[in-house]
Amino acid sequence: MTEKVTTLYEAIGGDPAVRALTHRFYELMDKLPEASNVRAVHPPSLHGSEEKFYEYMSGYLGGPPLYTDKRGHPRLRSRHFVAEIGPVESDEWLLCFRRALDETISSQALRDLIWVPVERLAYHMQNKAPDTKEQP
């Protein structure tokens, strides 16, 4: 007997759901004043970033490995060294992702399954120490 395994990609609705999630994520990043620091580390046009994130999330969630087919191993941390990512930027990134996730994925259980490793990944991407300003 063979059991069919359902991936997160399938469970959330496949390609249309991943497209909606990634599109909403970058829409929020571009519009929310409270995401200005993370927006600033991206290029003026978010189109390329959105497409790469869509490709990455497709494979990450168990769908087609679009990113690796086109670009090879993600090497996420090393590919992001060109951008200074500290606690502020990762928190703002997570704010946008959380809102996009909540707005596009209806199941709380599926959102929870996606959120935990994504949150861990966002903190792993930090490559800049927190700003420490002396208090008078």
* pTM reported for the whole predicted model: 0.87
pLDDT value for 77: 58
Average pLDDT of the segment spanning 43-55: 95
> Percentage of the chain with pLDDT > 70?
88
Tens digit of pLDDT for each residue in 73-123? 766 655 665 678 889 999 999 999 999 999 999 999 999 999 999 999 999
Q: What's the whole-number average pLDDT of the chain? A: 89
DSSP code of residue 2: -
CA distance 74 to 96: 21
CA distance 84 to 119: 18
What residues contact residue 86 under an 8 Å CB cut-off, 6+ apart? 126, 127, 128, 129, 130, 131
* Cα-only R_g, the chain: 16
pLDDT value for 125: 85
Residue 135, pLDDT above cutoff 90: no
pLDDT value for 136: 46
pLDDT value for 55: 96
Alpha carbon 23 to chain centroid distance?
11
pLDDT value for 111: 97
Confidence of residue 127 (pLDDT cuts 50, 70, 90): confident
CB atoms within 10 A of CB 103: 14
CA distance 16 to 73: 24
